[in-house]
Structure 1
Amino acid sequence: MITMAQYYDIQRMHFREGKSIRTIAKELKMSRRTVKKYLTEGKEPLRPPTRRSIKPRPAPVIEEVRPLIEKWIREDENAPVKQRHTGKRIFERLVTEHCFTGAESTVRREVGRIRKKVKEVYLPLEFQLGDNIQCDWGQAQITLNGTPKTVHLFVMRLTASRTIYVRAYIHERQEAFFDGHCRAFEFFGGVPRRVTYDNLKTAVKKVLHGRNREENEAFQALRAHYVFHAEFCNVASGNEKGQVESMVGFIRRNFMVPVPEVQSIEEFNQYLEQKCREYAAKTRVPYRNEIVNELWEEEKKHLLAIPKTPFDACRIVSVKVSSQALVQLDTNFYSVPCRYVGEVLLLKAYVDHVIVVDQDTVVAEHSRCYQKNRRRLQLEHYIDALMKKPRALKNAAVFQTNTIPSIYRRFYKEMNQRYGTDGDKSFVRILYLHREHGSDVLIPILKEAERQGQYRYEVVWNLLHQRLHGHNTTQPMPKEALTERLSEYQVSQPDIHQFNQLLGKGGTLH
């Protein structure tokens, strides 16, 4: 049997173009008998029958449990993706819990039919200017100082103008989360009325019924400072903030191919901010005639003003000072003044530094360490303890760090060799000058004393006083004149007979 299209070609070529049966058969590659049959008989080929709907057969076994299967599948929508019912698991539950007598294939077929019917519909959205920002985290690879490194990308997007902001961090902890907000709001030029999140632990303490959440207290402080409303997606429903979800992949594909090679995270963040500005300058807003930059300028007028007082973007931890004057954050230790040993202080962990406070007083500040099992020690914190234990200075860990100027070690070594324990004590007194005036002032003083060959506290103090006040309190004696001048001194013998008058009666005279 030929198709309707072939039948049409036979009719056209013979009656419209006047071709012979032989020619038509040759061009259409069919027998002359077939061509002649459809030309002489004038019968059309049979059309393919339309598929008639088949009335479903009754399935009394599955009918009894169908409502139960539909209920379990609906409940799966709120369950973790990897912990949802399979057809096999539904069959097992039906057999175990409801004495089901049908076959597993019947259940699997029914599950497929039900799931095919349940298709989620996504509505197109349009956001008002200044109303909403979506926030999310992502990960990417960079080459940092020649070593592959995974960084965490904090991404925010203004949903009306489509402006994006992205910044890289070493981790996704609360201090990075807060710092990202502060920098993003500064970049956007204001604060939106609503920010949409998924249920991240840095913001949500507990997921309650429906859209209700028990928020982290520190996150509440962030919201109160900037006065925005937080909205949270349903569990495992990242599509509810689809604009920023799609941007994480876009950033990896367009900003980070090939893999960026940088010397520091700060250098990489400068690159990312520049790419965000380039994106805004050349990208057109979907379904509008403006580019992102133009609509962004308009949206800035609708954003809330940024507070004049900056937000304290840190994670606050209560710490107890150990007997070695150290406090612990994660796996690392940071020194504090030794007078705080045994006390409980507050540690403020920022992205790049750490501050330890006693009520409102800052007692220590260190650069943040992201290695494991490391110490950050400051010489100033141990000077009081060294005054009580000066001999410990030689092996004190704080004096072995690479932050100690080399002139300090040379000067101490010379004083220790010349004066022993007294030299240790005198050098600790010099360290008090370091704590009072700083290394920038003391280093040139020690170098000058070293040049003169004078390794004594008094000389250092005199040179420091001269530098600070502009005059000498003593005049140092030239070396070449030392022996000659001493020879001029004549010291008379003491007359002890003069003490006889102090003796009482019977005393022995000298």
Structure 2
Amino acid sequence: MHNEHAQVDFFEVVVDVAGVRRKAWLFLLRLMYSGRDFGWIYERQDQISFLDGHVRAFAHLGGVPARIAYENLTRAVAKSLAGRERALTRRFAALVSHYLYEPSFCRPGVGHDKGGVEARGKAVRLQALTPIPSADSLDAINTALLAQLDGRVDTRRAGTTETIAARFAEEARRLRPLDVPFVAEAPTTVSISPRALGQVHGAWYSVPCEWADLDLIAWVGATAVTIVGRDGTRITHPRQPFGGRSIDYRHYLRALATKPKAVREILPDLLRDLGAPFPAVWDQLVADHTPLDAARQLATILGVLTAEGASAVIPRLEEALRTGAPVRLPRRATRAVALDDEALPATLRDIEVASGIAADYDQWLQDGAA
């Protein structure tokens, strides 16, 4: 039946993101009975984006159609066999098995096998992406696009007397219910350099300097790359193009604490990554010291931040800024912790160590000289 059928395709589009015009790719899934569409724009036309589009579409529509028609995309098809039979790529086969639907593929050179989504893709570009959409982020453009597509549901489905919403209400009852979403991200191994940088798909990403020289796992998503430490800590960066870099200087605080000159060289990016109240702290340090001394003071603060944590340090900085006191952050002395006898192993409870006095050291030096 037609009310369980969908079609999928990618379309090249143009967007303006943060004032930069760029080529992008529209993933479009169209439910053929109701005419309801799901669209999402990606920076890449790769397999991860292809899979991510399905996950988003099924979640947004609230279910999975019984059959979806495709072009013979390399993201889905590893090899064409006899007739309409195809050997699927490993990741696409996993998606199909997860959601339990039937993929079907067009005959080579026969455009009308999925003419519905192809015609709709041209219409979406004309109706929703002209003039060229502009926003500070691709997410904002996608939010506006999806709202515009969803806003069509009260219009009449072409060739019928019913609205898209009315036909979708009937169609939705036939969609396969959702359970756990498929994980579209792809895992890969990454070797961390001595400078605490990992190269993933040709781009570089920073990690905490304590992870230098480790071999770790990275999860590559459509828009983000997450590197997982051996303790389970996850470091997530915006996914970069080949040759790109994403550096978070908070990962290098331990090293920067001993290198005031390096602090000055990366200061704008460091203050951006640290966030409030550190830009105001720097302004106060520069007002009270020379630039080099200010960098030394900031390096000291970074050392305390590394040792004691943000929850202990930031309130002290904010208090100094509020009261106009000098911004100084000496390390707090570590107090010895007294343990009860019950906390010690039984073999150590009866041992007493006398406290040393200066005369003891004089005697040890004399004995050594003799």
User: Which residue number in structure 1 is paired with residue 303 of structure 2?
Assistant: 429
Q: Tell me whether 1:300 sits opposite 2:172 in the alignment.
A: yes
In 1, Cα distance between equivalents of 2:295 and 2:236: 34
1:172 aligns with 2:53: no
Q: Secondary structure at the match of 1:201?
A: coil
Contact 2:63 2:177 in 1 (8 A): yes
Please give the TM-score of this superposition, normalised by the length of structure 1: 0.57
Given that 2:225 and 2:236 are in contact with CA atoms closer than 8 Å, whether structure 1 keeps it comes out as yes
**1:394 maps onto 2:263 in alignment:** yes
**1:273 & 1:147 partners in 2: Cα distance?**
22
Does 2:211 match 1:337? no
In 1, Cα distance between equivalents of 2:165 and 2:82:
40
- 1:312 aligned to 2:186? no
The aligned residue for residue 381 of structure 1 is 251
Structure 2: gaps spanning 5 or more residues = 334-358, 364-370
Residue 357 (structure 1) aligned with residue 228 (structure 2): yes
Deviations 1:318-349 (A, max 9, x none): 22111211112344311112232222222222
Q: Any idea what the Cα deviations from partners look like across 1:182-212, whole Å, max 9, x if unmatched?
A: 2211222211122221222222233344433
Deviation string, structure 1 residues 404-446 (Cα, Å, up to 9, x no partner): 432454577759966997x687434223157453886565256
Flag the structure with higher helix content.
1
Give the Cα separation in 1 of the matches to 2:232 and 2:213: 17
Tell me the amino acid that sits aligned with residue 279 of structure 1: R
Q: Deviations over 1:299-318 (max 9, x none)?
A: 101101111x3332323332
Amino acid in structure 2 at the alignment position of 1:352: T
In angstroms, what is the RMSD of aligned CA positions? Answer: 3.4
Q: CA offset at residue 399 of structure 1?
A: 7.5
Q: Aligned pair in 2 of structure 1 residues 328, 409: CA closer, same or farther (>3 Å)? A: farther
The yes-or-no answer on 1:163 pairing with 2:163 is no
Distance in 2 (alpha carbons) for counterparts of 1:368 and 1:191: 28
Contact 2:254 2:303 (8 Å CA) reproduced = no
Query: Counterparts of 1:142 and 1:260 in 2: how far apart (Å)?
Result: 5
Amino acid in the other structure paired with 1:159:
M
Matched, 1:403 2:268: no
What is the rounded CA distance, in whole Å, between the counterparts of 2:215 and 2:256 in structure 1? 23
Alpha-carbon distance between aligned partners in 1 of 2:219 and 2:225, rounded to the nearest angstrom: 6
Q: Structure 2 CA distance, aligned partners of 1:233 and 1:165?
A: 21
Change (3 A) 1:212 1:358: farther
Residue aligned with 1:452, SS: coil
* Distance in 2 of aligned mates of 1:211 and 1:337: 50
Change beyond 3 A, Cα 1:161–1:420:
closer
- Secondary structure of residue in 1 paired with 2:233: strand
- 8 Å CA contact 1:434–1:442 kept in 2: the answer is no
Q: Map of 1:173-322 to 2, 5 A cutoff?
A: 173-286=46-159, 288-307=160-179, 309-322=180-193
Q: Which residue of 1 aligns with 2:348?
A: none
Whether the 8 Å CA contact 1:355–1:364 is kept in 2: the answer is: yes
* 1:158 CA drift (Å): 0.9
Aligned residues: 330
* In 2, Cα distance between equivalents of 1:200 and 1:439: 53
> Paired residue for 2:198?
327
Measured in 2, the distance between the counterparts of 1:177 and 1:400 equals: 34
Q: CA 1:415 to 1:329, structure 2 compared with 1: closer, same or farther past 3 Å? A: farther
Cα distance 1:321–1:362, how it changes in 2: closer, same or farther (>3 A)? same
Tell me, yes or no, if structure 1 residue 128 matches structure 2 residue 41. no
Larger radius of gyration: 1
Any stretches of 5+ residues in structure 1 without a counterpart?
1-126, 463-498, 504-510
CA distance in 1, matches of 2:310, 2:256: 16
Tell whether the 8 Å contact from 1:380 to 1:435 is kept in structure 2 after alignment: no
Determine the C-alpha separation between the residues in 1 that align with 2:281 and 2:308: 10
Give the CA deviation at 1:266.
Answer: 2.4
Does the CA contact (< 8 Å) of 2:68 and 2:104 recur in 1?
A: yes
Letter in 2 for 1:235: P
Query: What is the letter of the counterpart of residue 242 of structure 1?
Result: G
Name the CA shift for 1:349/1:409 in 2 (closer, same or farther; >3 Å). farther
Within 5 Å, give how 1:42-121 maps onto structure 2. none
Residue 134 of structure 1 aligns to which amino acid in structure 2?
Q
CA-to-aligned-CA distance 1:430-466 (integer Å, 9 cap, x gap):
23157453886565256358x21252414xx59xxxx
Q: 1:444 matched to which residue of 2?
A: 318
1:496 alignment counterpart: none
Looking at structure 1, the residues matched to 268 and 230 of structure 2 have their Cα atoms a distance apart, in angstroms, of 29
Contact 2:211–2:229 (CA under 8 A) maintained in structure 1 = no
> Separation in 2 of the partners of 1:269 and 1:223?
25
For residues 370-409 of structure 1, give each alpha carbon's deviation from its aligned partner in whole angstroms, at most 9, with x where no partner exists.
Answer: 5x6443223342234446x545643564884432432454
Counterpart residue type for residue 11 of structure 2: G
Letter in 1 for 2:103: A
For the residue of structure 2 that corresponds to 1:196, the secondary structure is strand
Separation in structure 2 between the aligned mates of residue 192 and residue 420 of structure 1, nearest angstrom: 60
Identity of aligned residues (%): 24
CA distance in 2, matches of 1:132, 1:457: 67
Q: 2 CA distance for matches of 1:161 and 1:420?
A: 63
Matched ranges for 1:456-495 at <5 A: 456-458=329-331
Structure-2 change in CA distance of 1:365 and 1:447 (3 Å): farther
